Structures are given as C-alpha cells and as structure tokens.
Amino acid sequence: MMLQHCFRFGITVHVQVYSDFCVEVIYGFINVVISPPACSNAVECHYVGMVPVVFIAFRVCQFVGCTGNHHSDGLLVLRNFSVCQQAVSGIYFDAIRSLKNEIAGGKRADEAARTRNQAVYFECVAFACIKSCCTAGGSDCFLLIEYYIVCGIAALYLSFFPKVSVGPIARYRDFAPQLTNRQETVEKTAEGIRRFAYGLGKKVLVANIVGASVDKIYAQDITNVTGVMVWCAAILYAIQIYYDFSGFTDMAIGLGKMFGFDICENFNYPYLSGSIQEFWRRWHISLSSWFRDYLYIPLGGNRKGKARTYLNLAIVFFATGLWHGATTAFIAWGALHGFFIIVERIGFKKILDKIGFLRYVYTGLVVLFGWVIFRVANLQPALQYIRRMLTPWQYTQSTYALRELIGNRCIVMTVIGILGMGLIQAGIKKFCPAAEKLKGGVLELVYCMFLIAASMLLLVNGTYSPAIYLNF
C-alpha cells in the first residue's frame, strides 16, 4: 500500500512540476482567450492553466490502480469553494487543515459560489482528483495535498528560467517569499531592461569576439604555439570567461527584475582584487557563499584551530574543483586557488598589504595560470602551456603570425574589455562622481539601444556564440 501511495504521489508531483513550469507561459493566453468573468484575482486565473494537466493526471492515476470509489468524497471537496479559494489564493497550510475539518464536519458551501469563482472551480477539481487517487483516505490524502502545494512552489523555484542555466545560485529561503509576494513596477522593469542590455552586450560584443581568437590559438598544435601566443590566449580567455559568465548573470538578473524578482549579485569586479581571498569574495559570489555556508562552516570553519582551518579550506577548494568537473585539471585548478588562500592566511596577506601595486600583479598571475588549466581542461597539456608562459624565449617558432590569429575587432574589444572590468567605473567614481547622475537618463537609454541593436546584428550575421560556463 505504501509503495502504491508513493507511486501515485510521484505522478502527481511530476504533473505539478510540468504544470507550474508551463503555466506562466500560457498565463497571458488564458486571460485573453478564456477570460473567466468570475476570476476575483490574478492567482485564481493563474490556476486555470492546470485544468487539462490535472485531468490527465487523474486518468493516469486511474490507469495505475486507483479504483475511483471515493468520488463522493471528491465531490465534497469540489463543493468546498470558500475554503479552496483560501488554499489557492494564499497557498497556506492552515487552509488545508481548515478544508480537512470542514469535510469531516460535512459542511457544504453555497452553490452560488460556483458561478462567482469559475477559476477556483478548476482548482477544486484538482483537489478532487488528488482525493480520488488516495484509496486510504483520511490524513494520507491531506498529506498528499500538502506535498502537492509544496512541490508546486519548489518547482517554480527550480524552473525559474533566467537563473536555471548559469546562475546566480538563488537560495530557496531568499527566493520563496518572492514567489507569492513579488512586485512588478515600471522602475524595476526599466532597470531589468537596462541590466539585460548590458549583459547581452558583454556576452555578444566582448566575450564572443574575444573567444573566437582564443579558440584559434588553442586549436593549434601545442608545438606550433609560441610563448607570446600562449600569454595572449591566457589574457583573452580571462576576459572571455568574465564577460561570458557575468553577461549571462546580468541577463538573468535583468529578466528577473522584469518579472518582479530580485536575484542576488554574482560579480563585483573580481580582476581588481589584491589577493586570492579577495578574488573569491568578488568572483561567483553566490557559489563562494554557498560553499562557505554548507561546507566550510559545517566542517568547523576557523573555530577549531589553524591546522583545522587550513584543512577545511583545502577540502572546500577541492570540492570547488570537482564542482566544475571531475577531472585532474579542475581539481588542480581548485587546489591552486586553495593553496594560495592558505598561504595568504598563514601570513602572506600581511606582505601583500605592504607591496602596493605588486599585489594586483601577483593576484592576476595566479588567476591567469589558473585559467590556463581551466580552459585546456587537461592537466598535462595545460602544464606545457604554462611552461611556455614561464619561458617564452624558448618558444618563438610558429607557422602562424600572431596577427593572423588575433584580428582588429579582437584587439578593440580586448581594450574595451580591460577598461570595462572595473577601471572605468573606478575612475568615474573617483574623478567624475557627477557622471553618476546620468544613470537612467537619455544617454544611457541610447547606449542600451545601441548595445541591443549591435548584439542582434552580430547574432544574426554570425554563428559563433559559445556559452562556455554551461559546460561546468
């Protein structure tokens, strides 16, 4: 019997996941075509889209063994419109408990409510289907209804498409309140469009153009690559991965704001970092905080002595490497960052604070060597590339000239990319703070329109548009 209930529950959850994923897409169509006059609020109209899916679920559950002997109980649920309306509009568990109590008391709702709340009628059908699928009845039925609602909210969270591919990692505890209480305003929509335009420009105008030259260099046989070429490829890839990943993040945040959701920030000009510790406070912020809260702190954090702290850091960055790929290259990439973070915590950070500009050089070199390992994704060839970087005078022969692999557009976008990684922003903030007032004005509007138009032209005319971070 327990196995039978679990099987039926699995079907119900699967159907609910599919329904909640699709319902936002067809929501506008339903309001225009069906337009039930009795919908008292948007939430009720929202659930009309579940009707065909619910009936399919009912038939499937009947096919796998539901006897359908509880249709009277189902009709009882069907007629409890007033209580069901609370469950639909608020999605509160106390409404489910109220529904259970009223059914146990044999109460009936006014039949006139059926004509006043047609959208709620369909949701009641969903409740009736679930009730009919529970041959045990009683509390098991309402436990299933609770699962039904919880999994619906969870499915909306998991399937929120702006962030589902590359992040940021929006935690459920931060995101769940917005699922039932989001606010759409003109200001937030405008900010979302602006943020999306910036992200699209980052991805298409910078990352794609720079990435094409990176691929050309790494596509050559390693014996045909000079030390200068490897250095150029490493720098260009650092630009590519930042603008690719942060561009996708900006687009996700922008789309979220258009729909009334606030998604956490994920980057804060990481290449301006003066240490590897600072780099990880600025790079992929949502991942760093996730590992901190769910791995580093549970392991003991820094509360159990220095040796244990260093061990915990090593475990975290070993896991960070595995997060991106289960190969020796990614493990080595994580170990590289973990090693320098441990060294900085031992005492090297105090030295970095005293050497001024050189600390940025140190951080850039560590990050750059790490990106070589990350890009090649194979430890042995990656070490050969790094060897060429460390001794470039020994590798000067190639059948290609550097300008054959790096075109004019790549050079222009490289300069723009380097300036846009925080240098321009820091300069404006320090030397021209009045320029901040132009934010949201006509000039920024024209700039965003240019970014969207130029990005569309490149996307239409070109075929190269990799999403490198989707591979990890």
Mean pLDDT for the chain? 74
Q: What is the mean pLDDT of residues 10-38?
A: 35
Q: In Å, how far are 131, 328, 364, 401 from 377, measured between CA atoms?
A: 53, 8, 20, 25
List of residues 6+ apart from 362 with CB closer than 8 A:
275, 352
> For 382-412, how does the pLDDT look when each residue is reduced to its tens digit (9 = 90+)?
999 999 999 999 999 999 999 999 999 999 9
Q: What pLDDT score was predicted for residue 49?
A: 37
Q: Check residues 363 and 133 and name the one with the higher pLDDT.
A: 363
Cα-Cα-Cα-Cα dihedral of 158, 160, 165, 167, to 10°? -90
Please name which of 271, 272, 266 lies closest in space to residue 254, comparing C-alpha atoms.
266
Q: What angle do CA 17, 20, 21 make, to 5 degrees?
A: 80
Catalytic sites, residue numbers:
324
- Angstrom distance (rounded) from CA 123 to CA 50: 8
Compute the distance between CA of residue 95 and CA of residue 83 in angstroms, rounded to an integer: 7
Contact between 321 and 293 under an 8 Å Cβ cutoff? The reply is no
Report the C-alpha gap between 296 and 307 in whole angstroms.
14
> What average pLDDT does range 131-152 have in this prediction?
48
Q: Scanning the structure block, which residue is given the tokens 């702006």?
A: 162
pLDDT level of residue 360 (50, 70, 90 thresholds): very high
Distance CA 163, CA 172 (A): 13
Residue 426 banded pLDDT, cuts 50, 70, 90: confident
Residue 449 confidence (pLDDT)? 94
Over residues 252-265, mean pLDDT: 90
Weakest mean pLDDT among 43-57, 100-114, 222-236, 416-430:
43-57
Looking at per-residue confidence, does 428 or 277 come out higher? 277
Q: What is the pLDDT of residue 336?
A: 97
Looking at residue 165, what is its pLDDT? Answer: 59
Q: Please report the pLDDT score of residue 39 as a whole number.
A: 39
- Residue pair 208/417 in contact by the 8 Å Cβ criterion: no
Contacts of 417 (CB under 8 A, 6+ apart): 206, 210, 239, 242, 243
Report pLDDT digits (tens) over 437-460.
777 788 889 999 999 999 999 988
Q: Please tell me the least confidently modeled range out of 103-112, 297-306, 374-383.
A: 103-112
Above 90 in pLDDT, residue 418? yes
Q: Is the pLDDT at 155 greater than 70, yes or no?
A: no
3-state secondary structure the chain: CHHHHHHHHHHHHHHHHHHHHHHHHHHHHHHHHCCCCCCCCHHHHHHHHHHHHHHHHHHHHHHCCCCCCCHHHHHHHHHCHHHHHHHHHHCCHHHHHHHHHHHHHCCCCCCHHHHHCHHHHHHHHHHHHHHHHCCCCCHHHHHHHHHHHHHHHHHHHHCCHHHHCCCCCCCHHHHHHHHHCCCCCHHHHHHHHHHHHHHHHHHHHHHHHHHHHHHHHHHCCHHHCCHHHHHHHHHHHHHHHHHHHHHHHHHHHHHHHHCCCCCCCCCCCHHHCCCHHHHHHHCCHHHHHHHHHHHHCCCCCCCCCHHHHHHHHHHHHHHHHHHHCCCHHHHHHHHHHHHHHHHHHHHHHHHHCCCCCHHHHHHHHHHHHHHHHHHHCCHHHHHHHHHHHHCHHHCCCCCCCHHHHCCHHHHHHHHHHHHHHHHHHHHHHHHCHHHHHHCCCHHHHHHHHHHHHHHHHHHHHCCCCCCHHHHC
Q: Which of 159, 161, 154, 162 lies closest to 180, judged by CA?
A: 154
Question: Among 269, 273, 282, which residue's Cα sits nearest to residue 424?
Answer: 269
Residue 56 CA to residue 15 CA, distance in Å, equals 9
Cα 3–5–6 angle (5° rounding)?
A: 65
Model pLDDT, residue 92:
34
Neighbours of 243 (CB within 10 A): 28
For residue 345, pLDDT beyond 50:
yes
- Positive or negative, the CA dihedral 337, 341, 342, 348 is positive
CB atoms within 10 A of CB 401: 9
CA gap 85, 116 in Å, rounded: 11
Q: What are the residues whose beta carbons fall under 8 Å from the beta carbon of 312, sequence distance 6 or more?
A: 296, 299, 300, 301, 302
Q: Do residues 331 and 323 touch, judged by C-beta distance below 8 A?
A: no
User: Predicted confidence band at 170 (pLDDT cuts at 50, 70, 90)?
Assistant: confident
* Cα–Cα distance for residue pair 418/420, rounded to 1 Å: 5
Average pLDDT for 47-56: 38
Name which residue leads in pLDDT, 314 or 162: 314
Which has the minimum average pLDDT: 79-93, 347-361, 417-431?
79-93
Residue 381 identity (one-letter amino acid)? P
Q: With CA atoms as reference, report the closest residue to 45 among 58, 55, 34.
A: 34
- Reported confidence tier of residue 217, pLDDT bands at 50, 70, 90: very high
